[in-house]
């Protein structure tokens, strides 16, 4: 399996391009602003067909490039409906965070697929399981590839840290419940590809992440 990391925008938010092989099927996890062009270049350069763009959550740094990425790849964008108050209103997020009105290309695609916990996709030659992990946002989801031993963790889990919970809809208690019940139950050798920063593993975070030591 091919996994390409593309840090984008001022927040260095990771878009991930996941493919079975050159010339094969692919999917994209998260679509930050300014990610559509590099994602498109990878897709075109490898001759990939993109089956879906999966958003971990509705924060603008993860969905602000979703319309452009969908247009570039031809794939449908999917997000959990509990984040509609974020996904469907990026302008309010931009005003609150940066104090200006965003350009129109930050708007989400008109046709959004709806994610739910336990939903599965067959993408890039493998099974992708939707793991609803509320806490960072109400509709936050991780994407688990059980046959590959990979978790796309969005802003749930980072190398050495966890997602913030002080933004609208955030809840530390909910995030830690999601972590305990749905994330840290995975095998230690599970590869974690986060929404920001570098890769890690479940085992490494279980042993050394100050927020998680002793959680399970």
**Domain-located, residue 45:** yes
Supply the pTM of this predicted model: 0.96
**Domain-located, residue 82:** yes
Q: Name the nearest CA neighbour of 184 among 154, 164, 156.
A: 156
Whether the Cβ atoms of residue 205 and residue 212 lie closer than 8 Å to each other: yes
**Domain-located, residue 59:** yes
**Domain-located, residue 92:** yes
**Domain-located, residue 96:** yes
Per-residue pLDDT, 214: 80
**How many structural domains compose the chain?**
1
Q: Name the nearest CA neighbour of 75 among 26, 38, 37.
A: 26
pLDDT in tens, 123-132: 999 999 999 9
Q: What is the pLDDT averaged over residues 137-143? A: 99
| Domain housing 166 | 2-208
Q: What is the pLDDT averaged over residues 113-135? A: 98
pLDDT in tens, 42-56: 999 999 999 999 999
Residue 192, H or E segment: strand 191-194
pLDDT band at 88 (very low <50, low <70, confident <90, very high): very high
How many Cβ atoms from other residues are within 10 Å of residue 21's Cβ? Answer: 14
**Domain-located, residue 97:** yes
pLDDT in tens, 170-183: 999 999 999 999 99
CATH code for the domain in which residue 82 is found: 3.60.15.10
Distances in Å between the Cα of 21 and the Cα atoms of 127, 132, 143, 193, 206 are 15, 28, 20, 19, 32
**Domain-located, residue 34:** yes
Q: What is the pLDDT averaged over residues 145-155? A: 98
Q: What is the pLDDT averaged over residues 127-143? A: 98
């Amino acid at each position: 399996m091919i996994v390409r990391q593309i840090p984008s925008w001022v927040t260095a938010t990771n878009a991930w391009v996941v493919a079975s092989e050159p010339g094969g099927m692919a999917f994209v996890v998260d679509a930050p602003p300014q990610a559509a062009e590099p994602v498109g270049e990878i897709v075109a350069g490898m001759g990939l067909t993109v089956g879906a763009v999966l958003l971990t959550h509705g924060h603008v740094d993860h969905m602000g490039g979703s319309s452009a990425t969908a247009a570039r790849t031809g794939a449908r964008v999917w997000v959990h409906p509990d984040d509609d108050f974020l996904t469907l209103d990026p302008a309010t997020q931009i005003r609150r965070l940066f104090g200006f009105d965003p350009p129109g290309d930050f708007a989400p695609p008109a046709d959004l697929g709806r994610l739910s916990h336990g939903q599965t996709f067959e993408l890039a030659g493998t099974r992708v399981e939707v793991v609803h992990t509320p806490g960072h946002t109400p509709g936050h989801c991780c994407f688990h590839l059980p046959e590959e031993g990979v978790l796309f963790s969005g802003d749930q889990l980072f190398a050495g840290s966890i997602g913030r919970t002080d933004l609208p809809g955030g809840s530390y208690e909910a995030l830690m419940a999601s972590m305990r019940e749905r994330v840290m139950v995975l095998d230690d050798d599970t590869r974690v590809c986060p929404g920001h920063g570098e890769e890690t593993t479940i085992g490494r975070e279980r042993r050394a992440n100050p927020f998680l030591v002793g959680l399970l």
